[in-house]
Amino acid sequence: MTGEGPATGTGEFALIDKVFKPLAAETPAALGLTDDAAVLAPAPGRELVLTKDAMVAGVHFLETDAPGDIARKLLRVNLSDLAAMGARPIGYLLATFWPEKLALDWIMEFADGLRLDQAEFGIGLLGGDTVRTPGPLSLSLTAIGDVPAGGALRRNAAREGDLIVVSGRIGDAALGLLSLTGELAGLPDAERDYLRGRYHLPVPRLALGAALVGKVRAAIDISDGLIADIGHIAEESKLGALLDWEKVPLSAAARAALARDTALIEPILTGGDDYELAFTLPPGDAGLLEALAGAGGVPLTVIGEMTAGDGVRVRRPDGTEIPLKARGWQHF
Amino acid sequence: MTGEGPATGTGEFALIDKVFKPLAAETPAALGLTDDAAVLAPAPGRELVLTKDAMVAGVHFLETDAPGDIARKLLRVNLSDLAAMGARPIGYLLATFWPEKLALDWIMEFADGLRLDQAEFGIGLLGGDTVRTPGPLSLSLTAIGDVPAGGALRRNAAREGDLIVVSGRIGDAALGLLSLTGELAGLPDAERDYLRGRYHLPVPRLALGAALVGKVRAAIDISDGLIADIGHIAEESKLGALLDWEKVPLSAAARAALARDTALIEPILTGGDDYELAFTLPPGDAGLLEALAGAGGVPLTVIGEMTAGDGVRVRRPDGTEIPLKARGWQHF
Q: How confident is the model at residue B12, as a pLDDT?
A: 66
Q: Across-strand partners of B167?
A: B300
Q: How confident is the model at residue A99, as a pLDDT?
A: 93
Which are the contacts of B250, defined by CB distance < 8 A and separation ≥ 6? B169, B170, B171, B258, B268
The span from the CA of B206 to the CA of B300, in Å, is: 14
Looking at the predicted structure, is the pLDDT value of residue B103 above 90?
A: no
The tens digit of pLDDT for each residue in B177-190 reads: 999 989 999 899 99
Amino acid at B272: G
Burial letters for A74-88: b for 16+ Cβ neighbours within 10 Å, e otherwise? bbbbbbbbbbbbbbb
Give A79 to chain B, closest Cα distance, Å: 10
Structural fold of domain A2-148 = 60s Ribosomal Protein L30; Chain: A; (3.30.1330)
> SS3 of A152, please?
coil
- Ordered by start, the domain boundaries in chain A are 2-148, 163-315
Q: How confident is the model at residue A200, as a pLDDT?
A: 92
Cα–Cα distance list, A7 to A33, A55, A131, A308 (Å): 22, 21, 11, 57
pLDDT grade for A13, boundaries at 50, 70 and 90: low
**Contact by Cβ (8 Å): B131, B97:** yes
**Contact by Cβ (8 Å): B203, B275:** yes
Number of residues in chain B: 332
Average pLDDT over chain A reads 92
Cα–Cα distance list, A324 to A75, A201, A327 (Å): 31, 27, 7
The span from the CA of B124 to the CA of A33, in Å, is: 26
**Contact by Cβ (8 Å): A224, A276:** no
Q: How confident is the model at residue A1, as a pLDDT?
A: 59
pLDDT grade for B70, boundaries at 50, 70 and 90: very high
Of A56-60, A82-86, A183-187, the range with the highest mean pLDDT is A82-86
The tens digit of pLDDT for each residue in A266-275 reads: 999 999 899 9
Nearest CA in chain A to B133: A56
Q: Across-strand partners of A39?
A: B49
Which tops the pLDDT comparison, A290 or A36?
Answer: A290
Q: How confident is the model at residue A37, as a pLDDT?
A: 87
- A60 annotated among ligand-binding-site residues: yes
Looking at the predicted structure, is the pLDDT value of residue A8 above 60?
A: no
- A130 annotated among ligand-binding-site residues: no
Chain B residue numbers touching A331 (CB-CB < 8 A): 4-5, 12, 131-132
Chain A residue numbers touching B85 (CB-CB < 8 A): 35-37, 39
Q: How confident is the model at residue B286, as a pLDDT?
A: 97
> SS3 of A137, please?
coil
Provide mean pLDDT across the span A309-317: 95
pLDDT grade for B5, boundaries at 50, 70 and 90: very low
The tens digit of pLDDT for each residue in A183-240 reads: 999 899 999 999 999 999 999 999 999 999 999 999 999 999 999 999 999 999 999 9
The span from the CA of A258 to the CA of B299, in Å, is: 71
Q: What is the DSSP letter of A229?
A: H
Which tops the pLDDT comparison, A329 or A28?
Answer: A28
Q: How confident is the model at residue A103, as a pLDDT?
A: 87
Looking at the predicted structure, is the pLDDT value of residue B2 above 80?
A: no
Q: How confident is the model at residue A10, as a pLDDT?
A: 55
Q: Do A93 and B3 touch (CB under 8 A)?
A: no
Q: What is the largest distance, in Å, between two alpha-carbon atoms of chain B? A: 65
Q: How confident is the model at residue A25, as a pLDDT?
A: 87
Q: How confident is the model at residue A11, as a pLDDT?
A: 65
Helix (H) or strand (E) holding A4: none
Cα–Cα distance list, A225 to A15, A53, A267 (Å): 37, 16, 8
Q: Same CATH topology for B2-148 and B163-315?
A: no
Rg (CA), chain A: 21
Report the CATH superfamily, name and number, of domain B163-315: PurM-like C-terminal domain (3.90.650.10)
Chain A residue numbers touching B143 (CB-CB < 8 A): 37
Provide mean pLDDT across the span B206-227: 97
pLDDT grade for B331, boundaries at 50, 70 and 90: very low
Which tops the pLDDT comparison, B102 or A124?
Answer: A124
Looking at the predicted structure, is the pLDDT value of residue A4 above 70?
A: no
Provide mean pLDDT across the span A69-76: 96
Q: How confident is the model at residue A36, as a pLDDT?
A: 76
Percent of chain B with pLDDT over 70: 94
Do strands A2-3 and A46-56 pair parallel, antiparallel, or not at all (unpaired)?
A: unpaired
Percent of chain A with pLDDT over 70: 94
Q: How confident is the model at residue A268, as a pLDDT?
A: 97
Assign residue B309 a region: left if phi > 0, alpha if psi is -120 to 50, beta otherwise? left
Looking at the predicted structure, is the pLDDT value of residue B323 above 60?
A: yes
Q: Of A210, A203, A201, which is closest to residue A296 (Cα–Cα)?
A: A210
Q: How confident is the model at residue B327, as a pLDDT?
A: 57
Average pLDDT over chain B reads 92
CA A177 to chain centre: 15
Chain B residue numbers touching A330 (CB-CB < 8 A): 4, 11-13
Cα–Cα distance list, A228 to A223, A267, A278, A321, B13 (Å): 9, 12, 11, 17, 11
pLDDT grade for A332, boundaries at 50, 70 and 90: very low
Q: How confident is the model at residue A327, as a pLDDT?
A: 57
Q: Of B310, B301, B286, B167, which is closest to residue B237 (Cα–Cα)?
A: B310
Assign residue B109 a region: left if phi > 0, alpha if psi is -120 to 50, beta otherwise? alpha
pLDDT grade for B89, boundaries at 50, 70 and 90: very high
User: Residue A55 CB: number of other CB atoms within 10 A?
Assistant: 21
Q: Do B56 and A135 touch (CB under 8 A)?
A: yes
Chain A residue numbers touching B87 (CB-CB < 8 A): 37
Number of residues in chain A: 332
The span from the CA of B231 to the CA of B271, in Å, is: 13
Query: C-alpha angle A279/A275/B99, rounded to 5°?
Result: 120
- Residue A100 forms contact with B (CB below 8 Å): no
Question: Which of B11, B136, B332 faces A330 most closely, judged by CB atoms?
Answer: B11
Provide mean pLDDT across the span A22-49: 87
Rg (CA), chain B: 21
Q: Of A1, A206, A4, A3, which is closest to residue A123 (Cα–Cα)?
A: A206
Provide mean pLDDT across the span A44-61: 93
pLDDT grade for B64, boundaries at 50, 70 and 90: confident
- Residue A144 forms contact with B (CB below 8 Å): yes
Provide mean pLDDT across the span B126-152: 95
Q: Do B54 and A140 touch (CB under 8 A)?
A: yes
Q: How confident is the model at residue B35, as a pLDDT?
A: 83
Q: How confident is the model at residue B11, as a pLDDT?
A: 65
The span from the CA of B162 to the CA of A166, in Å, is: 60
Looking at the predicted structure, is the pLDDT value of residue A329 above 60?
A: no
> SS3 of A225, please?
coil
Provide mean pLDDT across the span B164-181: 96
Q: Do A58 and B142 touch (CB under 8 A)?
A: no
* Inter-chain CB pairs, A–B, below 8 Å: 244
- Residue from A4, A39, A153 whose CB has the most chain B CBs within 10 Å, to mutate: A39
- Residue A49 forms contact with B (CB below 8 Å): yes
Interface of A with B in 21-40 (CB under 8 A): 31, 34-40
> SS3 of B327, please?
coil
